[in-house]
């Protein structure tokens, strides 16, 4: 009999636990299984049975007389706590006979135990063995599902890490680009200074160079903040994270002729979050908005506060673009992995990770999109629990046209 599952399971996982404390059943069954090299373990009481199942087991053989109401209660607890992949098989050795009120009462009591095989005594060894084999095979399938679920979860972790690296990579390219522009300007100004004879003009060149270098310093400051900030949740100002993303996307916005309109009604509103996670969310949504406005457009970003039905203060971050819009057929799946319309240039992981971060932090997201030729565009609206509920929603409207 091939009862052992593949190598991923431990020796415990294939054991058959036997609870038959009265009479000779327990010893006879254990002897039979041992002769056939089927791993088994006898226990004297229901508490030990529960403990052994919790350590790992393939199936259990239990005699009906050991299954008292107390034992059923203890076992139901173990069954209830099973992980989603598990449906532990239990072979119950019953006393033959007619259906009586007592046998019916026991049947009802046993219902919470789930995956039960009933075998009426006296049992032929072949019947017991084939039932056990059937139960262990089912258990083996459950272990395969468990292993697949673990693999899937590991793959998801790897994808999450790779998307984080991809965001970092994209931002690094933006940073290099952003720093290059002012450095080129400073090189030109130094060249002009070398050939300049008018002290007033020279002074102006120096002032311009100062400004350009201040911009390089600002980009360096934002970038260093990005790498130094903690990975765990801290008080995070939504406005400041938003600005740090826009600084790094500035040249892409200019190159795509996108006008940026900031409507910051609650700039100092604070949430409890890892700043890196909020930045990843904003960077993904803004990055997608720029991609959707290849021929120019308007990016409107608003930070405001609102109160939910439970009376809790929330910060709302709205990012709206006038881009191509998300095709209707794509909308239900945009938060799933590998959904992309960008071919080689997109991985389709941006919104999947965004959705995961939003879910993990207990935020909510709403997406509205239109693809009509006369008015297309997309609006992402994220609401997050607010920390400093004392912040007034005072208008602090800014308009920046890139």
Ligand X SMILES: Nc1ncnc2c1ncn2[C@@H]1O[C@H](COP(=O)(O)OP(=O)(O)OP(=O)(O)O)[C@@H](O)[C@H]1O
| Binding positions for Mg ion, rule: CB under 5 A | 288, 350
Q: Which is nearer to ligand X, 267 or 346 (CB)?
A: 346
Q: Which is nearer to ligand X, 78 or 292 (CB)?
A: 292
Segment contacting ligand X by CB under 6 A, of 116-124, 132-140, 234-242, 287-295: 287-295
Among 222, 244, 270, 288, binds ligand X (CB under 6 A): 288
**Cα dihedral 249→251→256→258 (10° resolution):** 60
What is the nearest approach in angstroms of ligand X to the Cβ of residue 299?
10
Give which of Mg ion, ligand X, none residue 371 binds (C-beta under 5 to 8 Å, depending on kind).
none
54: which residues sit within 8 A by CB, 6+ positions away? 78
Task: List the end-to-end C-alpha distance of the chain, in Å, as a whole number.
Answer: 74
CA distance 366 to 386: 18
User: Could you give the string, one character per residue 352-371, with x where binding to ligand X holds by CB under 6 A and - elsewhere?
Assistant: x-------------------
Tokens 């030990």, residue located = 48
Does 71 bind ligand X (CB under 6 A)? Our answer is no
Does 342 bind ligand X (CB under 6 A)? Our answer is yes
Does 378 bind ligand X (CB under 6 A)? Our answer is yes
Q: Which is nearer to Mg ion, 288 or 376 (CB)?
A: 288
What is the nearest approach in angstroms of ligand X to the Cβ of residue 158?
15
User: CA neighbours within 13 Å on the CB side: how many for 78?
Assistant: 24
Segment contacting ligand X by CB under 6 A, of 69-77, 81-89, 117-125, 346-354: 346-354
121: which residues sit within 8 A by CB, 6+ positions away? 25, 93, 94, 95, 96
Q: Which is nearer to Mg ion, 222 or 280 (CB)?
A: 280
Q: What is the CA radius of gyration of the chain?
A: 33
Which residue of this chain has its Cβ atom nearest to ligand X in the complex?
350
Tokens 């046998």, residue located = 103
Residue (of 351, 387, 365) closest to 269 by Cα position: 387
What is the nearest approach in angstroms of ligand X to the Cβ of residue 133?
47
Alpha helices in 9-45 (DSSP H): 25-35
CA distance 395 to 401: 19
Does 324 bind ligand X (CB under 6 A)? Our answer is yes
Interface with ligand X by CB under 6 A: which residues?
A: 284, 288-289, 292, 321, 323-326, 330, 334, 339-342, 346-352, 378
């Amino acid at each position: 009999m091939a009862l052992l599952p593949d190598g991923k399971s431990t020796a415990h996982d294939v054991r058959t636990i036997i609870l038959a404390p009265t009479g000779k059943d327990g010893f006879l069954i254990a002897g039979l299984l041992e002769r056939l090299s089927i791993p088994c373990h006898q226990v004297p009481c229901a508490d030990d049975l529960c403990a052994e199942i919790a350590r790992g087991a393939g199936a259990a053989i239990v005699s009906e007389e050991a299954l008292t109401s107390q034992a059923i209660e203890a076992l139901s607890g173990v069954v209830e706590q099973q992980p989603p992949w598990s449906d532990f098989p239990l072979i119950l050795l019953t006393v033959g006979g007619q259906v009586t009120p007592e046998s019916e009462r026991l049947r009802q009591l046993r219902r919470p135990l789930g995956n039960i095989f009933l075998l009426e005594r006296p049992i032929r060894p072949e019947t017991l063995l084939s039932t056990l084999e059937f139960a262990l095979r089912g258990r083996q399938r459950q272990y395969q599902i468990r292993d697949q679920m673990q693999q899937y979860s590991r793959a998801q972790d790897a994808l999450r890490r790779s998307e984080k690296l991809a965001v970092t990579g994209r931002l690094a390219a933006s940073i290099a680009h952003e720093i290059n522009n002012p450095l080129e300007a400073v090189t030109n100004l130094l060249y002009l200074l070398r050939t300049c004879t008018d002290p007033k003009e020279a002074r102006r060149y120096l002032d311009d160079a100062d400004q350009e270098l201040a911009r390089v310093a600002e980009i360096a400051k934002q970038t260093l903040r990005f790498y130094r900030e903690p990975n765990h949740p801290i008080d995070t100002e939504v406005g400041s994270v938003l600005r740090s993303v826009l600084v790094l996307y500035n040249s892409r916005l200019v190159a795509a002729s996108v006008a940026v309109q900031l409507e910051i009604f609650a700039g100092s509103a604070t949430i409890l979050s890892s700043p890196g996670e909020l930045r990843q969310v904003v960077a993904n949504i803004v990055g997608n908005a720029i991609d959707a406005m290849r021929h120019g457009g308007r990016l409107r970003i608003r930070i405001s506060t609102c109160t939910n039905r439970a009376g809790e203060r929330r910060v709302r971050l709205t990012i709206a673009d006038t881009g191509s819009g998300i095709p209707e057929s794509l909308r239900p799946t945009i938060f799933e992995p590998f959904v992309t319309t960008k071919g080689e240039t997109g991985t389709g992981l941006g919104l999947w990770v965004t959705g995961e971060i939003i879910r993990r932090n207990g935020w909510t997201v709403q997406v509205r999109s239109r693809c009509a030729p006369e008015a297309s565009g997309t609006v992402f609206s994220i609401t997050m629990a607010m920390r400093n509920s004392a912040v007034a929603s005072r208008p602090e409207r800014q308009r920046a046209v890139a």
